[in-house]
Amino acid sequence: MKTTLKWVSNITSWLLFGIFIVMVFMVVTSKASGGEPTFMGYQLKSVLSGSMEPTFDTGSIIAIDPSINKEKLKKGDIITFMEDAEKLITHRIIEVKKTANHVQYITKGDNNDGADISPVLSENVVGKYDGFNIPLLGYFMNFANSKIGTAILLILPGLLLIIYSAYSIWKAIKEIEVPKKEESSSTTSN
């Protein structure tokens, strides 16, 4: 029984430590990049609307490749682009227009009835959707990027580790005290 409890205790400790490391990594990389984190050269973006459903759902995390040639995209590619200085959009290219000086893309959300109002200049393309997405994780990433989320995700796992360590130390002291009490009671009865 004691070996099972010790085994569960060790797994719990490592699990809490692992969660703490993952949270610190996500928060630090998102803050260092000024937004969403990057992983192996791909930028991870949160999907905040349903305009691309069913390709990916609201709240998903998608991976985009920022190293693409922005002037060589084709019809059917899904791109993330700057609509303005504050807003990123991810939509599918439905038409490519080339002029002497620029390449423009006409885009549309898969779930939208019509094409986007303004064409996208190739210079405004941030990256191309890679086909990788994780449903619902975007809600967590948005929370992690908020001030409250950052504080909670950095402090909570550390606090849980401290509480669990204090509990483990208390249990170890209790186990040491029980044999001492039994030893002292057996010496007084002799």
Residues taking part in catalysis: 49
As a whole number of angstroms, the distance between CA 77 and CA 91 comes to 9
d(CA 47, CA 65): 16
Backbone angles phi, psi at 33, to 5 degrees: -85, -5
179: part of which helix (H) or strand (E)? helix 147-189
Closest to 57 in 3D by CA, of 49, 65, 67, 66:
49
